[in-house]
Amino acid sequence: MDVETLKRVLKDVVTSDPAFVRDIVLEAIRGDGRVIEAIIDLIARSPEARLRLAETVAGVITIPLNVTTKQDLEKLREEMATKEDIKRLEERIMGLEGEVRGLKDRVASLEVRVTNVENKVTNIESRMTDIENRMADMEKRMTDIENRVTNIENRMITREEFDKTISDIRSQIKDIKDRMLTREEFERRFEWLALNIEGSARDWVSYLLRQRGYNCTAERLYVDLDGVHEIDIYCNAGTITVVGEAKVRVGSEVVNDVYYRAQEVRRRYPDKVSGRLVPAIYTMAADPSAVDKARELGVWIVENNKEKVALEEVLRTGQGGG
C-alpha cells in the first residue's frame, strides 16, 4: 500500500469513526508496540501525513473523561510498567544466558584439562608399574647375587688351608717328577718294548703257523719301498707267505697301511712271496674299527697272543693276496 492510499484510508476512518481510531491507538499501546511502531514508521516517511495525522489524532483523542477513565489510564500505566519489567528481565536473561555460555565454555575447557590430567595419571601409573617390575627384577637378581656370594664364601678356604693345599700340590708334582722318565729313559724303554713286541710277534706267528702245518720261522725283512723299510714279520712257508707289522696299538689306518705294504712287497719282490699272501698284524690292543677293516681286507690280526681275526677267516675272504 502506497502513502496516498494510506492517507485516504486514515482520513476516511478518522472522519467516519473517530472512536475506532482511538481504540486502535490504545490497543497498540497495550500491545508489544510493533504495530504502532510500523504505523509511525510509515507516517514518518511523509511530512504532510505527519502534520495532518497529528492534527486529526489530537482532535480525536481529546475526548471527555467519561470515555477514557482514570482507571483505564492507571491500568495502562501498570501494563507499561510490566512491560518495562519484562524487558529488564529479558535483558537479565540474555545476560545470564551469556554467562551460562561462558560457564559452558569454561566447563568444556575444564573437561579437556581433566582428560589431560587423567591421561597423565594413567601414564604415571604405567611408569610406576614398570618401575615396580624392574625393582622386583633387581631384587631377584640381588638375591641371586647374594646366594652366589654366600656359595663362594662357603667354598673359600682360610689362608692356612690354602697354604696346606699348595704344599700338597707341590708334593704331588715332585712325586710325579720323580716317577717321570727322562727322554733317554723313555726312548730306551720304548725301544725295548718295540723289540719285545716284535720278538713276541715273530714267535707267535711261527707257533700259530706250525700248529696249522705250515713249517717256517718268522724273521725280519728289509726291503726298498721308496726307501729302506723294515718288515717286522716275514715267514715264507711255501704255500703261504706272511708279511706284517708289530704295533702296540692298531686302528683302521694301520690295517690299511699293512695291507697295501704287503701288496707292494709282492709286486716289487715276487721271489719273496710264495703261494697265498697273508698280510698280518701283531698288537697289544686292536680297536674295533681295526678288526672290522681287517675282516673287510683279509688281514690276520693277533692281539696279545689271541687271534682277533683268524687265519682261516683271512684265507676264506679271497682278499689278502691269493
- The answer to whether 232 touches 200, Cβ cutoff 8 Å, is no
Domain boundary among 20, 49, 68: 68
- The answer to whether 321 touches 273, Cβ cutoff 8 Å, is yes
End-to-end CA gap in the chain = 150
Q: Does residue 73 belong to any structural domain of this protein?
A: no
Q: Tens digit of pLDDT per residue, the chain (322 long)?
A: 555 766 676 667 667 766 666 666 666 555 555 655 656 665 556 555 555 555 555 554 444 444 445 566 566 566 655 777 778 878 888 888 888 888 888 888 888 888 887 888 788 788 888 878 888 887 888 788 888 877 766 666 677 777 787 888 888 877 666 665 556 554 555 444 555 889 999 999 999 999 999 999 999 999 998 888 899 999 999 999 999 999 999 999 999 999 999 999 999 999 999 999 999 999 999 999 999 999 999 999 999 889 999 999 999 876 555 5
The phi and psi torsions of 90 (rounded to 5 degrees) equal -60, -40
Q: Does residue 119 belong to any structural domain of this protein?
A: no
Q: Does residue 36 belong to any structural domain of this protein?
A: yes
The cell for 57 is 489524532
- The answer to whether 296 touches 250, Cβ cutoff 8 Å, is no
Alpha-carbon gap, residue 255 to 279, rounded angstroms = 9
Q: Does residue 241 belong to any structural domain of this protein?
A: yes
Alpha-carbon gap, residue 138 to 135, rounded angstroms = 5
Q: Does residue 107 belong to any structural domain of this protein?
A: no
pLDDT of residue 124: 77
pLDDT of residue 57: 52
Q: Does residue 226 belong to any structural domain of this protein?
A: yes
Q: Does residue 202 belong to any structural domain of this protein?
A: yes
Q: Which of 288, 274, 200, 283 is nearest to 243 (CA)?
A: 274
Q: Given strand 240-250, what is the order of strands in its sheet? A: 219-224, 228-236, 240-250, 276-286, 300-303, 306-309
pLDDT of residue 64: 45
- The answer to whether 233 touches 275, Cβ cutoff 8 Å, is no
Q: Exposed, middle or buried: residue 261 (CB in 10 Å: 0-12, 13-18, 19+)?
A: middle
Q: Report the amino acid identity of residue 245.
A: E
Number of domains in the chain: 2
Alpha-carbon gap, residue 314 to 295, rounded angstroms = 7
Q: What is the number of alpha carbons within 13 Å of residue 269 lying toward its C-beta?
A: 17
Domain boundary among 31, 52, 68: 68
Domain boundary among 47, 68, 89: 68
pLDDT of residue 63: 46
Q: Does residue 110 belong to any structural domain of this protein?
A: no
pLDDT of residue 273: 95
Alpha-carbon gap, residue 150 to 143, rounded angstroms = 10
Residue 298: give its domain's CATH number: 3.40.1350.10
Q: Which domain holds residue 57?
A: 3-68
What is the value of pTM for the model shown? 0.43
pLDDT of residue 178: 61
What number of H helices and E strands is found in the chain? 10, 6
For 269-289, the DSSP string reads -GGG--SEEEEEEEEEEE-HH
